[in-house]
Amino acid sequence: MKSTDLDRIEVNPKTMPKRTNPLANVFDDLVRFCRSRSMFMLHYCTGCGAIELPPAMTSRFDMERLGIQPMVTPRQADILLITGYVSIKTLKRVILTYEQMGSPKYVIGICSCTVNGGMYWQSYATAKKLDEYMPVDLYIAGCMPRPEAVIEGLQQLMDKIKNDQANSWKQYYENYDYYLGNQQKLFGNNWQTPTDVIGEAEIYRLMGPQTLGEHTKILQQVQKPMEPLEMKL
Amino acid sequence: MSMLDTLLLISLLTVLLTGLGQRVTFIGWIATLLLTAQLLTLLLMGKLGYGGEIIDASFGFSILGQPLNWRYDALSWFFALITIGSALAGSAFAAGAWGDQYRKEGGNPGLLQFSIALNVLAMLLLLGSGDLLSLFIGWELVSWASLLLMVIAGGRASEFGMRYIVYATAGAMAVLAGLAIIFQLTGSFAYDDLAAVAPALNTLQIVTLTLLFFFGFGIKMGLLPFHLWQADAYAETPGPGTAFLGAISSRMGLYAILVVIIQLIGLVRLIEIEIPYSFLSLRDLLMWVAAISIIIPTFIALRQSDARRLLAWHGIGQGGYMLIGLLVLDPYGSAGGLMHVFNHATYQAALFLSVSAVIYRTRTSDLNRLGGLVTRMPLSFLVMLIGIIGLAGIPPMNGFVSKWLVYRSLIIEGMPLLFVASVIGTLGTILSVYKLIHNTFLGQLRLEHEHIREVPLSMTIPMLVLSAIVFITGFMPGLVLDWVGSAQVALGMPQLAHTLGGVESTQGSLDMIWVCSVLFGGFAVGALLFYSGNKAKRVHQLDNYAGGHFLTADVRYHYSDNFYAGLMHHIGSWYRGSFLWLESSLISVVSSLSGGAQLLYNSFHPALYLLMAITLSLYFFIG
Amino acid sequence: MANSILLTILEVILMPLVAFIVGLFMVLMMRKLAAKLQRRVGPPLFQPLYDIVKLYGKQTQISHGLIHDIGIIMAVGGYVAAEALLPVPGMDGIAAKGGLVTLAYLMMVPSLGLALGVGQCANPNGSIGISRALTAMLAYDIPFIIVIFGVAYHFGSTNLVSIIATQQAEGIAGWGISEMPILAIAGLFALHASLGKQPFEIYIAPAEIATGPMVEMGGKFLGGLFVMQTFQLYTASVLYVSLFLGGGENWVTFLIKCFAVLAIPVLIAYLFPRYRTEDLIRLVWKWPVMLALLGVAFVMN
């Protein structure tokens, strides 16, 4: 089984089964609506793609009217906006950043580079397909896309969230073995981040059949323990 | 035999037993037990705290025709309660595991217990003094007893102890001179005689007496500019000793000032005396000394990187609040000042004990070598948290109530600059206590501290009891205000009308029961909101935002050194060590004077000088 | 007796609720004004609420330990309690039982809680943020406390209820701002600095220390801080209105005054970049303190 085989991923049903309690449904709808109308964005920008974001945020296009505002650290953010190519070195940081974000979290790849490496296709140091390493909700293609396209893409994401279709963050937990395998292929078997994805999946009941596998076994062998510092009396 | 005799006898017994039983391993527990007995005896005298009759000691002496006697009134009882309470906390803390470890390291816990017991006896005698002569004797006893406690650790501590004794001797000389003047004026050392004569004294006499006594007793309080000895001397004492010293030792100076200057000479006289070429009265001058004693030591504390020194400097600063409150001369201020003595003793002892607990486990009190201990020593953290909230004077702890009373009297009496000075002190305190708790208990846990455990029960119980007192007397300040009110009456001051929760007044009241209840209600709302969200996963401290960087345990990233860099960038140049310079120049002046005198004495006619000295002293005493 | 206690408890419950709702609109106003100054449209009406609901609705979030949690609880809870000390039209809560000084110190409880929570995060950015926040507090609290002194001395009371009643009895001429204009200016300056907005946002400084105290806050932790912000804006403006603008005769004038007071610093804020810490101290210790002392000198004569 090839680990780069995207078809291997079992995508969970697009919409969650509705809860039976009508009040709970209303509540869920409300929370989803608020999620779609309030998106804190962490932009990871390399090179040219970054240029298109300031106009999208400031006076000309004004993202804030859609409830989107830039944030500084992954803990605060909902959207990870990756513009431009990711080199193998920076990919490590992108993955760490992604794992540190709180779910539900969404990844947007902007520019061709995130789709297939773009003009860096031949580079030995560039990770070509972003979605081999983390689930991507939305690509905004173009070299580079104009702010209108960025806003358009963000609006699409809003619709997806509202309709409960933007659940790719669950795939990361449910198919962690696959993503970890791809990461290990690039970074070697010693690869680990300080975040404990498997532990998180266990706590939040996000384990899927593909969460654990051959790659997570390797991880568990090399991993330095990262248990939280519990209070001891 | 009166209750006072019993109390002093038990105290003497404590001293004797701890002195004789140096080799006994459980000497700490004996000392604790006996101190508990002292506390119980004192509590049996509890009527004093609620306006009871003065209790006289049945013994008394007579020296050179001057009677010496001892008695306890509400003020003495109040101070004695704090003394014995803090000694008990320190002693109990040292009795168990702490003492064992101290012995293993070559220390002598018996000696520590002995010196605490001796200090308590000396202080009880001082507090019970019924005339100026016994006051002076008690004063000297306290000075030397505390020296013993200071130099126990040896090494640098002896140096600091020596420095202290130089200051203390200078103070004692001033007090002696004051007493000599009083004796000349009244022909006796009785309190009543002085109080009777005081209204008739002329301005010069009042000023001289006030300055002499203020200087003499103020040195013990560490009032500026004689504050340099205190922090070093206190901080070097082994753990529980610092708690005892920091909690009560300097307050003896305040007690003496209260008795002599406020009770006997009378503040009203001081207010009448204008200092030429200024807008200040003599009382204002003393208040400004107190205000500066708040600000400067507090900001020196801000610069300390050693937990014990930081706290010791705050001890000096908080003394200023007590004095400033008492000098305002309205019921609010004096109640605040007196109450702050109690409050300060409770939280300061808790803080010192908590720092001692940290030292017990980590062997260091260097604020740059600690961090993250909250997960390992949560109870010590809790104690320190309650302590710093008290020290900073934030509701709901008791430190807030006493400071509130002081602030309120300064506002209503219209003293803006003094009010601002005391608030600046509080703000500086908040800054430095956050640094204390942050650098010790919060932030990154060091690799070498991974396996530390909480201190044993024998140490946590005294700490927790103290912090419980800090909270309860903050929640119901009326408990302490009862005693304070009686002490005010004993001092001849107007008594503060109070309720269990604080003060009722048309000009602004305080009801801590309501304020605390609402505060905790607010916390409950906050908790409800917080726990309504989905649960949070606890993560390791290395799972942290570092701009995408991967943190490792061997890299220290705890932000501790030069904690207030921005502030220090601005005010750092104000720390010029002017007082150190003043001290060293005083030393050199004194030493060159004495060198000159020696030269004179050696090269000329020694016999003549001896004769001169004798004649002068004879004149002094007889004439 | 029992009736009055029940009534007080009811008010104590209602006052924070009102504060939260008004605070939400204050946040909205702040963001809208910023947008208008930058010629943007700005967020929709319920944006502050969306943000808070979303943050509390996060499914996974991290905590660095119990103190991290308790810090957020204290930060929100402290303000909830502080609101009960701030009289609003028709409700006095426990204002008469605490007074100005108590309120000033109670407002430090949330900051202390936040500082503790941030400390446990073990993030140097957060610790630097707190050290700067406390430094800023040391800076702006000095003029603030002088102003409080002046007002309390002028009205002869530290009781907010009686301060407001005295002002309302005499109409606009009796308002603090007409009787103590210099103190009012100094107070506005201190209020601005206490909001932590530009040019005084040294402890947020996103580009420098990654939002300082908020660096490790996500989900309900950040949500708590957003709630705290609504209370913070409300408390600051209501306190100013109570001291200088005669409090609220009725809800309409009260809210108009509150929003107007807040609009002034906000309008100034978004025109400026950020000061450095030592420059902030220098500025705040110079002008507002001088003004406040001058104001007190006038008040006392």
Compute the residue count for chain C. 301
Are A194 and B540 within 8 A, CB to CB?
yes
Which of C43, C51, C58 lies at the smallest CB-CB distance from A102? C58
| pLDDT number for residue B342 | 92
Which residue of chain A is at minimal alpha-carbon distance from B533?
Answer: A31
Q: What are phi and psi of B393, to 5 degrees?
A: 75, 50
d(CA B513, CA C77): 17
Are A65 and C51 within 8 A, CB to CB?
no
Which residue of chain A is at minimal alpha-carbon distance from C208?
Answer: A72
> Which residues contact residue B451 at a Cβ distance below 8 angstroms, ignoring those fewer than 6 apart?
none
Are B548 and A195 within 8 A, CB to CB?
no
Instruction: Write down which chains contact chain B via at least 3 CB pairs under 8 A.
Output: A, C
Which whole number is the average pLDDT over B239-252?
87
Mind listing the pLDDT tens digit for each residue in C144-155? 989 988 888 888
d(CA A144, CA A119): 12
Residue B558 confidence class, pLDDT cut points 50, 70, 90:
confident
Q: How far is CA C113 from CA A53, B192, B314, B438, C15, in A?
A: 36, 52, 22, 12, 21
Share of chain B above pLDDT 70, in %: 98
| Distance to chain A for B534, nearest Cα, Å | 9
| pLDDT number for residue B84 | 92
Spatial contact of C67 and C119, defined as CB atoms under 8 Å apart: yes
Residues of C in contact with A73 (CB under 8 A): 210-211, 214-216
Whether the pLDDT of residue B268 is over 80: the answer is no
d(CA A154, CA A168): 16
A96 touching B, CB under 8 A?
yes
| pLDDT number for residue C118 | 92
Residue ranges per domain, chain A? 19-165, 175-225
| pLDDT number for residue C1 | 66
Mind listing the pLDDT tens digit for each residue in A41-94? 988 887 677 788 888 888 888 888 888 988 889 999 999 988 888 888 889 999
**Winning range, highest mean pLDDT, from A25-34, B2-11, B346-355:** B346-355
Are A196 and B545 within 8 A, CB to CB?
no
Q: How far is CA A218 from CA A89, A178, A189, B542, B560, in A?
A: 21, 13, 7, 21, 38
| pLDDT number for residue A87 | 87
> Which residues contact residue B603 at a Cβ distance below 8 angstroms, ignoring those fewer than 6 apart?
none
The 8-class DSSP code of residue B52 comes to P
Are B538 and C119 within 8 A, CB to CB?
no
| pLDDT number for residue B468 | 93
Higher pLDDT, B611 or A110: A110
| pLDDT number for residue A194 | 85
> Of B317, B337, B506, which Cα lies nearest the Cα of B412?
B506
> Of C19, C231, C47, which Cα lies nearest the Cα of A34?
C47
Pairing of strands A106-110, A79-83: parallel
Which bin fits B393, alpha (ψ -120 to 50), beta or left (φ > 0)? Answer: left
| Distance to chain B for A87, nearest Cα, Å | 14
Residues of B in contact with A71 (CB under 8 A): none
Across chain B, what does the average pLDDT equal? 86
| pLDDT number for residue A13 | 47
Are A64 and C31 within 8 A, CB to CB?
yes
| pLDDT number for residue A3 | 44
| pLDDT number for residue A1 | 37
| pLDDT number for residue A9 | 52
Residue A4 confidence class, pLDDT cut points 50, 70, 90:
very low
Are B540 and A227 within 8 A, CB to CB?
yes
Q: What are phi and psi of B159, to 5 degrees?
A: -55, -50
Are C40 and A59 within 8 A, CB to CB?
yes
Higher pLDDT, B52 or B109: B109
Are B416 and C202 within 8 A, CB to CB?
no
d(CA B249, CA B83): 8
Instruction: Write down which chains contact chain A via at least 3 CB pairs under 8 A.
Output: B, C
Could you give the 3-state DSSP secondary structure of residue B69?
A: strand
Whether the pLDDT of residue B131 is over 90: the answer is no
Mind listing the pLDDT tens digit for each residue in B356-380? 999 999 988 888 988 888 888 999 9
* DSSP letter for each residue of B153-166: T-THHHHHHHHHHH
Which whole number is the average pLDDT over B558-568?
87
Are A100 and B372 within 8 A, CB to CB?
no
Which of A34, A73, A74 lies at the smallest CB-CB distance from C54? A34
Q: What are phi and psi of A138, to 5 degrees?
A: -155, 135
Are C60 and A65 within 8 A, CB to CB?
no
Residues of A in contact with B376 (CB under 8 A): 232
Mind listing the pLDDT tens digit for each residue in B284-337? 888 888 898 899 889 888 888 889 989 999 998 898 999 999 888 888 888 999
B379 touching A, CB under 8 A?
yes
d(CA B304, CA B367): 9
Residues of B in contact with C284 (CB under 8 A): none
Higher pLDDT, A180 or A228: A180
- A140 pairs with which residues across the strands? A110
Residues of A with a Cβ under 8 Å from any C Cβ are 30-31, 33-35, 37-38, 58-59, 62, 64-65, 67, 71-76, 78, 100-104, 200, 204, 228-229, 231
Q: Which residue of B368, B515, B539 to mutate against C (max C Cβ within 10 Å)?
A: B515
**CB burial string A207-230: b at 16+ within 10 A, e below:** bbebbbbebbebbeeeeeebebbe
| Distance to chain B for A28, nearest Cα, Å | 13
Which residue of chain A is at minimal alpha-carbon distance from C44?
Answer: A65
Are C215 and B537 within 8 A, CB to CB?
no
Are A64 and C217 within 8 A, CB to CB?
no
B548 touching A, CB under 8 A?
yes
Share of chain B above pLDDT 90, in %: 16
Higher pLDDT, B38 or B22: B38
Residue ranges per domain, chain B? 274-575, 581-622
Residues of A in contact with B443 (CB under 8 A): none
| pLDDT number for residue B540 | 86
Among all chains, which residue has been given the structure tokens 């607990």? B357
B445 touching A, CB under 8 A?
yes
Given the cut 0.90, state whether the ipTM is greater than it: yes
Which whole number is the average pLDDT over B518-542?
89
> Of A198, A197, A177, A94, which Cα lies nearest the Cα of A136?
A94
Which residue of chain C is at minimal alpha-carbon distance from B527?
Answer: C73
Total domains present in chain C: 1
Q: Which domain holds residue C130?
A: 2-300
Whether the pLDDT of residue B134 is over 80: the answer is yes
B149 touching A, CB under 8 A?
no
| pLDDT number for residue A2 | 43
- Topology of domain A19-165, CATH: Rossmann fold (3.40.50)
A100 touching B, CB under 8 A?
yes
* DSSP letter for each residue of chain C: -HHHHHHHHHHHHHHHHHHHHHHHHHHHHHHHHHHHHTT-----TTHHHHHHHHHHT-S--EE--HHHHHHHHHHHHHHHHHHTTS-BTTB-TTHHHH-HHHHHHHTHHHHHHHHHHHHHTT-HHHHHHHHHHHHHHHHHHHHHHHHHHHHHHHHT-S-HHHHHHHHHHHGGGGSHHHH-HHHHHHHHHHHHHHHT-TTS-TTT-HHHHTTGGGTT--HHHHHHHHHHHHHHHHHHHHHHHHHHS---SSHHHHHHHHHHHHHHHHHHHTT-----HHHHHHHHHHHHHHHHHHHHHHHH-
Spatial contact of B543 and A194, defined as CB atoms under 8 Å apart: yes
Mind listing the pLDDT tens digit for each residue in C201-256? 888 888 888 888 889 888 899 999 999 999 999 999 999 999 898 888 888 999 99
Residues of B in contact with A195 (CB under 8 A): 539, 543
| Distance to chain C for B450, nearest Cα, Å | 15
Which whole number is the average pLDDT over B457-486?
90
> Of B258, B249, B18, B243, which Cα lies nearest the Cα of B122?
B249
> For B209-221, what is the HEC assignment?
HHHHHHHHHHHHH
Residue B381 confidence class, pLDDT cut points 50, 70, 90:
very high
Residues of A in contact with C44 (CB under 8 A): 37, 65, 67
Q: What are phi and psi of B54, to 5 degrees?
A: -65, 135
Amino acid symbol at B316: I
Spatial contact of B333 and B327, defined as CB atoms under 8 Å apart: yes
Residue A17 confidence class, pLDDT cut points 50, 70, 90:
low
> Of B301, B260, B264, which Cα lies nearest the Cα of B126?
B260
Are A233 and B550 within 8 A, CB to CB?
no
Residues of chain C below pLDDT 50: none
Pairing of strands B510-511, B537-538: unpaired
- A40 pairs with which residues across the strands? A69
